[in-house]
Structure 1
Amino acid sequence: MTTMNKFFNILRDTCYICLQELKNVFRDQGVLIFLVVVPLAYPLLYSWIYNNEVAREVPVAIVDLSHSHTSREFTRMIDASPDTRVALRCNSLDEARQRIGRGDAYGVVYFPEDFQTKLNRMEQTHVGVYCDMSIMLAYKAIFQTCVAIQGELNSRIQVKLSGNYTERENEITTRPLDFQEVPIFNNTAGYGNFIIPGVLMLIIQQTLLLGVGMAAGTAREKNNYGFLVPIHRRYRGVMRIVWGKAMAYLMIYVVMAAYLLCAVPYFFNFISLITLSQLALFSLPYLLSCIFFSMTLSVMMRYRENVMLLVVFSSVMLLFMSGVSWPQSNIPAFWQGVSWLFPSTFGIRGFVRMNSMGATLTDVSTEYRALWIQTVVYFVLAHEVYRFNIAKARHAIHHRLLRLRSKTVPSSEG
């Protein structure tokens, strides 16, 4: 055969494998759910849950043993805040603790008996704030509200004792060094803008792992010999098998990535500073690395259900190791090294900086190069594990044929 004929044969076989893989995806309900339905529906549910961005009207229990003018004013300001509301008035901390245990409130503001007495004596007094730390957003709302009210009441006391005559003197007394708090990047200080971009990138990797792994388990179950690759003349080259399967998954996830990274932030008005050209250039190595990574791990799937045990429990861990929900500088060196094995680590870091902080592809060159390196490494690994499985299958078939022949050849007569 000429070189051109060989090339066309390889291309024809690759396209055939790609078409067969697409047919298998859309015929298998389980694979279809993980590769299409979950990426379409799960981001909408997750984004809708956190669409309010911040916690409002968090219920607070008040334990006021002072019964003074200042404590009542403090309580009114808590109730007037947009983040908190006074839901309970208890007679002791034990009663308030029990009500929190039943879920009636998420925090307690405690005024001791000598609260007003110490103020009248010009002594420092205290307000106790106890919060349920199981929900960080509720803790943040209660604590920040109490800190703001405490600062306001302290300023009023300073003005009252200063003996100033003008508003300007009062401003200097209460705030000699003025500052203005400007939240950069996440200007709404919302949880959705903070966590959703990283989750969207992680969904791409995890659903690919689930879908490709389940497809591999299905292929083994349907094959009489339990082989990963079907016995067919078109599947006669490792390179065309790997690229044919990868092309099928890439065709699906180009659409899924456009939906996840462009449409979902648009639907819920999340911050999106990345341009389409930059997004396309950054997404290509991420998708390829996730696909080859999934194909490499898929050889471990003996049955369809195995993939659930491997992938589902790791999602939260991977999100933490990416440096989005926990500072990257505070992650131990060992876990930093472990995180480099997963495409989601560099994909989340780069996408969050480009999407939420306005970084360019040059600014995330480290993550961009790392994704291309992972693409090459996992392509080689996928090629080798498929080659090993094909060689193992051929060896097993050869031995079965030899045993079959030995049983069918008639024995020579003496």
Structure 2
Amino acid sequence: MKNYLSILKLEYRRIIFDMLSITIIFVGTAFYSFYYPFPYENDIVRKMPVAIVDLDKSDLSSTVVTMLNNTESLKVMQYPSMEEAKKAVYLRDVFGIIYIPDEFYKQVAKGESPTVSVFADGSYFILYSTAITAATQIVLMTAAGVKIQKMSMLGVPITDALLLQSAVNVTSKPVFNPRAGYVGFVAPAIYAIIVQQILLMVILLVHAAGYERGYGYPENTSTFTILCAKITVYMTIFAAVFSFFFTIGPMVFGIQLHNSLLEAVMFAIPYGLSIALFGITLSVFARDRDAVLLVMLMTSIPFVMLAGFIWPHWMMPDWIKYFSYLIPSTPGVTGFLYIRQMGAGITDIMPKYINLWIQVAVYTVTAVMAIRWQQKQKQFLI
């Protein structure tokens, strides 16, 4: 116990007096928790300028234009021809074109289905979906009103006309992400990966500093004592960083969180342990601080892709999917999304929970091997 406490104190001192590690822990945590979601705070598209080319010039088409302009998502700008509308798109004055053909009203009145073309800027997916969704809803709603009126004039009771026009009423409501915005979907997942990257970076930087500066332990210190001290220190850092990301960040940006905190803590324990042990295992390669920063920068995007929330696992090649199970963030990210956003319990995500504990068991063995190898090679350990 005496050796454990002395090594624990030494571990904390070496991190506290390492300016780069302290900067990453405090400044990095605060910066990324606010910086990443901030540009997307207003992630619901409102009053997106779109061009309307109305060749019909009927009361019905004018109603469509008025209703489109009254939606929160669109701002209508009328153009006399497709050529001028296209020019406005190229100049980024508008981000879509809604083309109402000639004889639009006549075709609707005859019970035919005219074609209203919607051209949207596909380079911005959120703008594309906004234009398509709003235009489709308004045009269908307006055309349905005309058809109902026409059937009513022919003697069809209004209730029957409504049933003939639409036998099914569809109501849509986004779940787990009430605002249907970008931040609510991606920020919690990115938070989990940033927590992993911060902890790995600190572990490897401190180990690299120890190798460069010649820090060490007494020769009679047991591997188990060193491992326990490291785990205690790194889990303390993990708890602080994790708590900040998953409490302050969601509160500031209005990200809805479900389920009890206890469920999240239960899942966070193996997540933090697997990251810490994974970092200690990799520490045998940490001999240059500049190289550590470069490698962590290069692995950030692959870890994001392997997590499965941007590109689903079932669409990945098998070898990539199986390799991803070795990375703590793969089960960790989706697990936290299910718990904190979807209200799942530990039993609902048991395969991911087991995956993390398997990583803890495997990386405990490799971490012990890494420390013993460093001791045999008489490398200086942190």
TM over 0.5: yes
**Which runs of structure 2 are paired with 1:62-77 in the superposition (5 Å)?**
62-77=52-67
Measure how far apart 1:84 and its partner are. Answer: 1.6
2:147 corresponds to 1:162: no
Paired residue secondary structure (1:305): helix
Give yes or no for contact 2:108–2:146 (8 Å, CA) kept in 1: no
Query: Following the alignment from structure 2 to structure 1, what is the Cα–Cα distance between the partners of residues 110 and 142?
Result: 16
2:142 corresponds to 1:150: no
Measure how far apart 1:281 and its partner are. Answer: 1.2
Partner of 2:207: 216
**Which runs of structure 2 are paired with 1:274-313 in the superposition (5 Å)?**
274-313=259-298
Measure how far apart 1:75 and its partner are. Answer: 2.4
Tell which deviates more after alignment, 124-133 or 277-286: 124-133
Partner of 1:408: none
1:4-27 Cα shifts (integer Å, max 9, x gaps): xxxxxxx33333333222222222
Which one of 170, 174, 185 corresponds to residue 165 of structure 2?
174
1:70-89 Cα shifts (integer Å, max 9, x gaps): 43332222221111212x44
Tell which deviates more after alignment, 288-297 or 70-79: 70-79
**Which runs of structure 2 are paired with 1:308-347 in the superposition (5 Å)?**
308-347=293-332
Query: Following the alignment from structure 1 to structure 2, what is the Cα–Cα distance between the partners of residues 173 and 71?
Result: 23
Measure how far apart 1:150 and its partner are. Answer: 2.1
Question: TM-score of the superposition, structure 2-length normalised?
Answer: 0.89
Measure how far apart 1:90 and its partner are. Answer: 4.1
Query: Following the alignment from structure 1 to structure 2, what is the Cα–Cα distance between the partners of residues 24 and 103?
Result: 54
Q: Which has the larger radius of gyration?
A: 1
AA at the equivalent of 1:216: H
Give yes or no for contact 2:68–2:134 (8 Å, CA) kept in 1: yes
2:360 corresponds to 1:370: no
Query: Following the alignment from structure 2 to structure 1, what is the Cα–Cα distance between the partners of residues 305 and 96?
Result: 27
Partner of 1:129: 118
Query: Following the alignment from structure 2 to structure 1, what is the Cα–Cα distance between the partners of residues 211 and 165?
Result: 74
Query: Following the alignment from structure 2 to structure 1, what is the Cα–Cα distance between the partners of residues 300 and 48?
Result: 29
Partner of 1:226: none
Change (3 A) 1:158 1:290: same
AA at the equivalent of 2:280: M
Change (3 A) 1:119 1:329: same
Query: Following the alignment from structure 2 to structure 1, what is the Cα–Cα distance between the partners of residues 267 and 182?
Result: 25
1:198-249 Cα shifts (integer Å, max 9, x gaps): 12211111111222222223223323xxxxxx33416733322232222112
1:387-409 Cα shifts (integer Å, max 9, x gaps): 222222369xxxxxxxxxxxxxx
Change (3 A) 1:105 1:15: farther
Give yes or no for contact 1:339–1:345 (8 Å, CA) kept in 2: yes
Paired residue secondary structure (2:24): helix
Query: Following the alignment from structure 1 to structure 2, what is the Cα–Cα distance between the partners of residues 97 and 18?
Result: 67
Paired residue secondary structure (1:357): coil
AA at the equivalent of 1:266: M
2:34 corresponds to 1:44: yes
Change (3 A) 1:156 1:371: same
AA at the equivalent of 2:355: A
Partner of 1:245: 230
Change (3 A) 1:143 1:235: farther
Tell which deviates more after alignment, 113-122 or 364-373: 113-122
Give yes or no for contact 1:17–1:234 (8 Å, CA) kept in 2: no
Give yes or no for contact 2:189–2:309 (8 Å, CA) kept in 1: yes
Give yes or no for contact 1:19–1:248 (8 Å, CA) kept in 2: no
AA at the equivalent of 2:175: I
2:95 corresponds to 1:106: yes
AA at the equivalent of 2:128: Y
Measure how far apart 1:275 and its partner are. Answer: 0.9
Query: Following the alignment from structure 1 to structure 2, what is the Cα–Cα distance between the partners of residues 380 and 253?
Result: 21
Measure how far apart 1:342 and its partner are. Answer: 0.8
Query: Following the alignment from structure 1 to structure 2, what is the Cα–Cα distance between the partners of residues 162 and 94?
Result: 38
Give yes or no for contact 1:43–1:260 (8 Å, CA) kept in 2: yes
AA at the equivalent of 1:28: D
Change (3 A) 1:388 1:58: same
| Percent identical residues | 26
Partner of 2:18: 28
**Which runs of structure 2 are paired with 1:177-256 in the superposition (5 Å)?**
177-223=168-214, 230-233=215-218, 236-256=221-241
What is the Cα-based RMSD across aligned positions, in Å?
Answer: 2.6
Give yes or no for contact 2:108–2:143 (8 Å, CA) kept in 1: no
AA at the equivalent of 1:306: A
Change (3 A) 1:122 1:169: closer
Partner of 2:339: 354
Give yes or no for contact 2:211–2:379 (8 Å, CA) kept in 1: no
Partner of 1:407: none
**Which runs of structure 2 are paired with 1:377-396 in the superposition (5 Å)?**
377-393=362-378
Change (3 A) 1:102 1:179: closer
Change (3 A) 1:153 1:313: farther
Change (3 A) 1:110 1:309: farther
Change (3 A) 1:217 1:360: same
Change (3 A) 1:105 1:18: farther
Query: Following the alignment from structure 2 to structure 1, what is the Cα–Cα distance between the partners of residues 39 and 326?
Result: 31
1:241-296 Cα shifts (integer Å, max 9, x gaps): 23222211211221221222233223333221121222221111101111111222
